[in-house]
Structures are given as C-alpha cells and as structure tokens.
C-alpha cells in the first residue's frame, strides 16, 4: 500500500483513525521537512491552497505552527477567531462547515467539543485537522513522538510516563498514540483524575498488536525506568474554577529533581506541551535543566503539522 496516496483527502481528528505505518509516515515526513527547512528549503506542495484556521480557544504554538507551515508550503492561512464567525451560535456547525468547504481547501479547528471538529469533517468536504479539543490533541502527540525519535532514535519499547491530570486531552492522546506505536505508557495520577476506562481499553487493544505496555496508577514510584517524563498544566482551559482543588490534589505529583532522580536513568528527558505553570506541575529547576526538551517539542509542532497538511492536502 502506498501510504502517501492513502492519506490524501483525509481528515486528522484523532490518531485512532490512522495505522502505525501511517503515523510513522507522517513522522518521517516531518523529519524530512524539518531537515529541509534547516537548510533554507521550503516547498510548493500547498501552492494555491487556502486554509481556514478556526480558533474557539486561544493558542501560541498551534496558531503559529499552522500559519508558518502553510506559508512555508505556499498556502494562504486565514485566521478566524471566536468573534470572527458564528460557529454554532447564529449559524450551525453543519452550515458553517458547508460554507467554509466551498471556499477553503482545508480547515483547522481548535476548540472545546470534539463533536464540533467531527461535524466540520463530515459536512465541509475538505480535510479537517484537529488543533485541540477537550478530548484529543493529536498534533501535539506527533510533535512529542518526533522529539522522542530525535532523542532516542526510535519509538518502540520506550518508557513514557505521563504524570498529573490523567483525564485530559493530552493523557487521552498519549494513551492512543503510545498504544499504536509500541511505546510503553504509564499514567500516574490521583484516582479522581484517571482517564476514562473506554480510552484505556482502546489503548490496550492497540497495545496487543504493538507490544506496548499500558499502566494507570496513583503510585509516583512508577516513574522508575522512564525514558521520558511528561506533564501538563493541572488546570485545563475552561476549568479555572477548579484550580485550588487541583493544586491540593496534584501537589504530590509535581515533577521536581527528586522525581527525575527516581527514574534511576541519567538520560531521562522532561517533556511538556506548554504553556507551563512553573512551581505547580514542574519546578523551574527541571524546566530549565538540560534534561528539558520542551522547546524542541514546541518547534516540532510546526514540522509535524506541516507534514499532516502536506500528506493530506499537498500535491
């Protein structure tokens, strides 16, 4: 099967929709596009294409990554914030999708409900890319996996530990992606913040094929042998009212020097999707240490997003 042809015209909503080979193809393409950009070489695969960037939630990395990736490959990006269009308010998502699909060649959506991005994909008739919903954050996982490949040379068999709020979009996407790609994933969180059982079950199904091991626990000692420790903010966008409760619940799960040393490995790296609240989920010391690859991940958002657009829309 020609993976390249198989991705044309498809939407990118969650890694559930892609085979391990297809995910690896996008990662390899991203590495290739990154190497070219470092040499000053950009492409024309998206020349003449117009891309709508829909944002219900603000963003630094996602907006900048899609914008620069579009321009690098010759496309025109059009930013549409929550005050620019009537998505789901004065106009239904279905109708907005059909209008935008007539004018644009691809649509990025970053917002709250995963159902919104699914409707955009169903009714627009063009590739739709998920820049984050409350349920999944697949472009971030691609950036994380590219970063892991750059540090370790491979994905399969790596020990990835996610610690903190275990039921957010990052933990969900990490379970799905790791299960698919043979990465051993441990989610460490208080029981109140464990991922839903259906997500864990799906990840375990994928893991049966890939050989990945999946563990959900509230024991911090499970960081032992981690190749990478990953965390995210303790209070996700839209949950600000729960901040005090989360800090109380998650204080024992902070990534600090002691926790990094508990892995027993000198080469363990620290990862974060950003923005970070230093002093909460991670100490300034770990964030600024040579173990931290957070800005590599941030840059890799752009290279992997470019790969997704080139693979699904490019000539």
Residues 103-158: tens digit of each pLDDT: 999 999 999 999 999 999 999 999 999 999 999 999 999 999 999 999 999 999 99
Query: What pLDDT sits at residue 1?
Result: 60
Positions annotated as catalytic residues are 110, 137, 140, 232, 273, 301
3 state SS of 12: strand
φ/ψ of residue 307, rounded to 5: -60, -40
**Both structure tokens of 160:** 């990835």
The answer to whether the beta carbons of residues 129 and 12 sit under 8 Å apart is yes
Cα dihedral across residues 135, 140, 141, 142: positive or negative = positive
- In this predicted structure, the answer to whether residue 238 has a pLDDT above a threshold of 90 is no
154 in a known ligand binding site: no
59 in a known ligand binding site: yes
> Which among 21, 151, 5 has a CA at the least distance from the CA of 143?
151
- Provide mean pLDDT across the span 95-109: 97
Task: Give 258: exposed, middle or buried? Use CB within 10 Å, 0-12, 13-18, 19+.
Answer: exposed
Query: Where in the chain do CATH 3.40.50.1370 domains reside?
Result: 3-136+299-313, 144-293
Q: Which single residue is written with the structure tokens 């070489």?
A: 41
159 in a known ligand binding site: no
- In this predicted structure, the answer to whether residue 244 has a pLDDT above a threshold of 90 is no
In this structure, the number of other CB atoms found within 10 A of the CB of residue 90 comes to 9
- With pLDDT > 70 as the criterion, what percentage of the chain qualifies? 99
232 in a known ligand binding site: yes
110 in a known ligand binding site: yes
Q: pLDDT higher for 240 or 80? A: 80
Query: What pLDDT sits at residue 52?
Result: 98
Q: Which pTM was predicted?
A: 0.97
φ/ψ of residue 6, rounded to 5: -70, -20
Query: What pLDDT sits at residue 242?
Result: 83
User: What is the DSSP code string of 186-224?
Assistant: EEE--GGGPPPHHHHHHHHHHHHHH---EEEES-GGGGT
The class (CATH top level) of 3-136+299-313 is: alpha beta
> For 145-193, how does the pLDDT look when each residue is reduced to its tens digit (9 = 90+)?
999 999 999 999 999 999 999 999 999 999 999 999 999 999 999 999 9
The class (CATH top level) of 144-293 is: alpha beta
Q: For residues 240-253, b (16+ Cβ closer than 10 Å) or e, as one string?
A: eeeeeebeebbeeb
> Which among 314, 297, 249 has a CA at the least distance from the CA of 137?
297
């Amino acid at each position: 099967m020609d993976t390249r042809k198989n991705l044309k015209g498809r939407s990118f909503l969650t890694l559930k929709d892609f085979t391990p080979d297809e995910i690896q193809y996008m990662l390899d393409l991203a590495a290739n596009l990154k190497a070219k950009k470092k040499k000053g070489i950009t492409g024309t695969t998206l020349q003449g294409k117009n891309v709508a960037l829909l944002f219900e939630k603000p963003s630094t990395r996602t907006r900048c990554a899609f914008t620069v990736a579009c321009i690098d490959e010759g496309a025109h990006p059009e930013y549409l914030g929550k005050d620019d269009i009537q998505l789901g308010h004065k106009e239904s998502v279905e109708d907005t999708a059909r209008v935008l699909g007539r004018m644009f060649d691809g649509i990025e959506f970053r917002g709250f409900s995963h159902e919104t991005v699914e409707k955009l994909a169903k009714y627009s008739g063009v590739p739709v890319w998920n820049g984050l919903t409350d349920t999944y954050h697949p472009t971030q996982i691609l950036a994380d996996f590219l970063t892991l490949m750059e540090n370790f040379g491979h994905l399969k068999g790596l020990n990835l530990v996610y610690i903190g709020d275990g039921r957010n979009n990052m933990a969900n996407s990490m379970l799905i992606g790791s299960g698919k790609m043979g990465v051993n994933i441990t989610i460490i969180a208080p029981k109140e913040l464990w991922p839903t059982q259906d997500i864990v079950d799906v990840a375990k199904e994928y893991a049966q094929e890939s050989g990945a091991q999946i563990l959900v626990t509230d024991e911090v000692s499970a960081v032992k042998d981690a190749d990478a420790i990953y965390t995210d903010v303790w209070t996700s966008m839209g949950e600000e009212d729960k901040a005090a409760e989360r800090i109380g619940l998650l204080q024992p799960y902070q990534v600090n020097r002691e926790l990094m040393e508990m892995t027993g490995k000198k080469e363990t790296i620290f990862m974060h999707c950003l923005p970070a609240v230093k002093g909460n989920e991670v100490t300034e010391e770990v964030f600024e240490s040579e173990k931290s690859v957070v800005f590599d991940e941030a840059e890799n958002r752009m290279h992997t997003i470019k790969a997704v657009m080139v693979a699904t829309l490019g000539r």
